[in-house]
Amino acid sequence: MDILSRWRAGGETPDPAKLLAAIPYCQLLGLTAEVRDGALVLIMPFGAHLIGNPVLPAIHGGVIGSLMETAALAQIVWEGGVERLPKPVDINIDYLRTGRPVTSYASARITKQGRRVVNVHAQMWQEDAAKPVAALRAHFLIAGS
């Protein structure tokens, strides 16, 4: 993704909103980004196309996983000084609650960054950040990608 290279070459900090707007799947999910109290937060408004189980109704687990993976990637790009989009090495997701048909939020934090690999933790919540719907632990390759 050469948008990252252009930002870095110009000495700019990547704009998460512009990054999300450049990714078609993020557009489909309706993702936007905000910085709240110094933390990057992704916002996914509810849409009927996000439902996986219409009986409950519940947001599809793949959508929840995608939201958290995108939050992790956006955090690495925003904070990590990478020139290319990192590649996932492994991802673990703990589904803790049902994703209800309301606006969802996700944020991530880098727990360790080496020369080649970054370890990231992310979580997704809805009304209360203290009650996460799901949590993600992942490693991303940042060198040689």
CATH code, 85: 3.10.129.10
Residues of the chain whose pLDDT is less than 50?
Answer: 1
What per-residue confidence (pLDDT) applies to 2?
63
Total of domains in the chain: 1
What per-residue confidence (pLDDT) applies to 67?
97
pTM attached to this predicted model: 0.89
DSSP sequence for the chain: -HHHHHHHHTTPPP-HHHHHHT-HHHHHHT-EEEEETTEEEEEE---GGGEEETTTTEE-HHHHHHHHHHHHHHHHHHHH--SS--EEEEEEEEE-S---SS-EEEEEEEEEE-SSEEEEEEEEESS-TTS-SEEEEEEEE-S--
